[in-house]
């Protein structure tokens, strides 16, 4: 414990920080942005489609090229040596860079307002690599208490083997966060909205506190995507994604992204992801780029239908509690409205009763599919306590409201009326 009062201050610092960010973003676009830059287009759905053109505008193939090369040849030994040493920019081996993935990386960086991004082999590869880049033996992490089960497992199972310890804290309480900051704390790791209970955390306030103690702030933006929330604009240092979910959006790729400042991303590429072999392959990058083109309309539809489902559930007599940030009953509804463009595609709720009621409801669904994943066109249902968060100890689960009666639904792209009809008939069997 270091201090008892949060250092919520430095509006001036924030201004400086965001002006620096805007400037670096300008430099980034100036250097690398092609295609729609002359039109000064700055809307996310457009960027998802046109982000970066590898060919001159309106000439050449519209779909991106797949270059699955592992090796790259050089005109002479000197060029090979200069490339591997970093003296000259260029690809030399598939584990450290690929042109198809690099095209997509530029698009993701632009979308997240980061200087650079790195495509990796899964969301967990993004999370583990981003964390390990900033952590050494004997360092300490502060993590939000309701975090994705895989992230919890990494921080409690793998990280301690390398001397890294973690405190899981209720990050809606900034005093509680400051209380656990130690001399060796290096990273604040958060997820907002959280999985599965959709707790919203104040990114700006937490980032200011963390920065005042010299911590890096890493945020999992999987649930929101840059269409709905841009953590870097709000003060975070690094954004991680499971692209397996909305970014790809079709349930046929496992992949991830890390976004942040160019120096950190370069270090991750050369000294972490490449060395650990967590690389994204060109075929997957192609599929993600294709899926990304419809991200704008998909997120709109996910949000609209989720709101309808949440409202339907909230008035249903079999339902105890609904977790959806778009509902005025959500404890952080106002904060959600402030920091998110819309409320996302995940609705969680508690049935009256317990495990048996949840089981009967899930088994009775006809349209929704039972699945661990989310963000697909299909409506997907899961039971967090026994599925995605099975590895979290019972007492930790209960601290985060992950009870036996909790159900999470990833609202798909079917007609909202049909999704509701399915839920209604399943509730009648409970
Ligand atoms: C919020 C969140 N982050 C990260 C992950 C891990 O992603 P992946 O399965 O691509 O490793 C998941 C997976 O469900 C998730 O829900």
For ligand 1, what atom is nearest to the CA of residue 255? 10
320 φ/ψ angles, rounded to the nearest 5 degrees: -85, -45
- The residues near 300 (Cβ < 8 Å, ≥ 6 apart) are 342
The preferred substitution site among 195, 197, 252, 273 for testing ligand 1, maximizing ligand atoms within 8 Å of CB, is 195
Would you call 189 a catalytic residue per the annotation? no
Percent of the chain with pLDDT over 90: 84
For ligand 1, what atom is nearest to the CA of residue 127? 4
pLDDT digits (tens, 9 = 90+) for 358-382: 999 999 999 999 999 999 999 999 9
**pLDDT score recorded for residue 294:** 97
Helix axes 99-112, 11-32, angle to 10 degrees: 150
Average pLDDT for 95-115: 96
Looking at the predicted structure, is the pLDDT value of residue 19 above 90? no
pLDDT digits (tens, 9 = 90+) for 292-336: 999 999 999 999 999 999 999 999 999 999 999 999 999 999 999
Q: How far is the CA of 39 from the centre of ligand 1 (A)?
A: 35
Average pLDDT for 54-67: 75
pLDDT digits (tens, 9 = 90+) for 246-268: 999 999 999 999 999 999 999 99
Average pLDDT for 202-225: 98
Average pLDDT for 7-29: 39
**pLDDT score recorded for residue 82:** 97
| Catalytic position from the list 28, 148, 189, 246 | 148
Average pLDDT for 79-87: 96
| Catalytic position from the list 95, 145, 182, 290 | 95
Q: In what order do the strands lie in the sheet with 319-323?
A: 319-323, 346-351, 406-410, 380-382, 369-370
**pLDDT score recorded for residue 50:** 84
Looking at the predicted structure, is the pLDDT value of residue 11 above 60? no
Q: Is 343 exposed, middle or buried (0-12, 13-18, 19+ CB in 10 A)?
A: buried
d(CA 72, CA 90): 9
**Which of 329, 395, 288, 343 lies closest to 48, judged by CA?**
288
For ligand 1, what atom is nearest to the CA of residue 125? 11
**Which of 262, 179, 174, 307 lies closest to 190, judged by CA?**
174
The preferred substitution site among 119, 120, 121, 124 for testing ligand 1, maximizing ligand atoms within 8 Å of CB, is 124
Looking at the predicted structure, is the pLDDT value of residue 182 above 90? yes
429 φ/ψ angles, rounded to the nearest 5 degrees: -95, -5
pLDDT tier, 270 (very low <50, low <70, confident <90, very high otherwise): very high
Q: How far is the CA of 376 from the centre of ligand 1 (A)?
A: 13
**Which of 191, 248, 216 lies closest to 374, judged by CA?**
248
d(CA 68, CA 54): 16
The owner of tokens 């104040």 is: 202
| Catalytic position from the list 245, 397, 405, 408 | 245
**pLDDT score recorded for residue 257:** 98
d(CA 93, CA 256): 20
**pLDDT score recorded for residue 2:** 39
Looking at the predicted structure, is the pLDDT value of residue 143 above 60? yes
**pLDDT score recorded for residue 41:** 60
Q: Is the dihedral of CA 337, 339, 344, 350 positive or negative?
A: negative
Domains belonging to the chain, first-starting first, are: 11-292 (3.40.640.10), 295-427 (3.90.1150.10)
**pLDDT score recorded for residue 57:** 60
Looking at the predicted structure, is the pLDDT value of residue 15 above 50? no
210 φ/ψ angles, rounded to the nearest 5 degrees: -60, -45
Looking at the predicted structure, is the pLDDT value of residue 81 above 50? yes
Would you call 202 a catalytic residue per the annotation? no
User: Where would I find the beta strands (DSSP E) of 5-148?
Assistant: 116-120, 140-144
Q: How far is the CA of 9 from the centre of ligand 1 (A)?
A: 33
Q: Residue with the nearest Cα to atom 8 of ligand 1?
A: 123
d(CA 308, CA 226): 23
**Which residue ranges have their beta carbon within 6 Å of ligand 1?**
122-124, 148, 150, 191, 195, 220, 222-223, 242, 244, 254, 256
| Catalytic position from the list 139, 220, 284, 422 | 220
pLDDT tier, 5 (very low <50, low <70, confident <90, very high otherwise): very low
Burial 203-219 (b: 16+ CB within 10 A, else e): bbbbbbbbbbbebbbbb
Looking at the predicted structure, is the pLDDT value of residue 54 above 80? no
pLDDT digits (tens, 9 = 90+) for 389-401: 998 899 999 999 9
**pLDDT score recorded for residue 40:** 57
H helices within 113-269, ranges in order? 123-134, 149-153, 174-179, 203-212, 225-228, 231-234, 262-268
Q: Of the ranges 51-65, 140-154, 296-310, which one carries the lowest mean pLDDT score?
A: 51-65
Looking at the predicted structure, is the pLDDT value of residue 53 above 80? no
Q: How far is the CA of 127 from the centre of ligand 1 (A)?
A: 9
pLDDT tier, 58 (very low <50, low <70, confident <90, very high otherwise): low
* Mean residue pLDDT across the chain: 90
Cα angle vertex 371, ends 228, 223, to 5°?
15
Residues 201, 171 contacting (CB under 8 angstroms): yes
Average pLDDT for 39-67: 75
The preferred substitution site among 148, 152, 247, 392 for testing ligand 1, maximizing ligand atoms within 8 Å of CB, is 148
Looking at the predicted structure, is the pLDDT value of residue 13 above 60? no
The preferred substitution site among 245, 371, 373 for testing ligand 1, maximizing ligand atoms within 8 Å of CB, is 245
Percent of the chain with pLDDT over 70: 89
Residue 123 tokens, joined? 């969301």
Would you call 220 a catalytic residue per the annotation? yes
d(CA 92, CA 81): 10
Would you call 405 a catalytic residue per the annotation? no
Any bridge partners for residue 120, and if so which?
A: 256, 279
78 φ/ψ angles, rounded to the nearest 5 degrees: -55, -45
Looking at the predicted structure, is the pLDDT value of residue 233 above 50? yes
């Amino acid at each position: 414990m270091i201090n008892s009062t949060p250092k919520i201050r430095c509006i001036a610092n924030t201004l400086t920080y965001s002006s620096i960010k805007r400037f670096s973003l300008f430099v980034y676009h100036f250097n690398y942005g092609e295609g729609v830059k002359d039109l000064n287009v700055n809307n996310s759905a457009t960027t998802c489609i046109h982000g970066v053109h590898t060919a001159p505008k309106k000439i050449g193939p519209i779909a991106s090229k797949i270059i699955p090369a592992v090796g790259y040849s050089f005109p002479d030994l000197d060029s090979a040596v200069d490339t591997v040493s970093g003296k000259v920019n260029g690809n030399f081996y598939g584990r450290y860079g690929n042109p198809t993935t690099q095209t997509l990386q530029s698009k993701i960086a632009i979308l997240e307002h980061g200087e650079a991004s790195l495509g990796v082999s899964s969301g967990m590869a993004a999370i583990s690599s981003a964390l390990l880049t900033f952590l050494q033996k004997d360092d300490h992490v502060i993590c939000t208490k309701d975090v994705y089960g895989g992230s919890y497992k990494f921080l409690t199972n793998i990280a301690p083997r390398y001397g890294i310890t973690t405190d899981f804290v209720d990050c809606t309480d900034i005093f509680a966060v400051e209380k656990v900051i130690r001399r060796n704390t290096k990273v604040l790791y958060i997820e907002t909205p959280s999985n599965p209970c959709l707790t919203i955390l104040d990114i700006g306030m937490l980032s200011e506190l963390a920065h005042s103690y010299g911590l890096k702030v890493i945020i999992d933006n999987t649930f929101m995507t840059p269409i709905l929330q841009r953590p870097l604009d709000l003060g975070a240092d690094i954004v991680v994604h499971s692209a397996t979910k909305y970014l790809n959006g079709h349930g046929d790729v496992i992949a991830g992204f890390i976004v942040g400042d160019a120096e950190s991303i370069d270090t991750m590429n050369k000294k972490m992801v490449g060395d650990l072999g967590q690389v994204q392959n060109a075929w997957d990058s192609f599929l993600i780029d294709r899926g990304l083109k419809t991200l704008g309309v998909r997120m709109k539809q996910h949000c609209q239908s989720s709101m309808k489902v949440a409202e339907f559930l909230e008035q249903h007599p079999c339902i105890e509690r609904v977790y959806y940030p778009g509902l005025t009953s959500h404890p952080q509804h106002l904060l959600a409205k402030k920091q998110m463009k819309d409320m996302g595609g995940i609705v969680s709720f508690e049935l009256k009763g317990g495990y048996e009621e949840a089981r009967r409801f899930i088994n009775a669904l006809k349209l929704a599919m039972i699945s661990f994943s989310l963000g697909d066109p299909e409506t997907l249902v899961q039971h967090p306590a026994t599925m995605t968060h099975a590895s979290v100890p019972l007492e930790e689960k209960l601290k985060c409201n992950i009870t036996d009666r909790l159900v999470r639904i990833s609202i798909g792209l079917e007609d909202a009326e049909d999704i509701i009809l399915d839920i209604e008939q399943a509730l009648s069997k409970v």
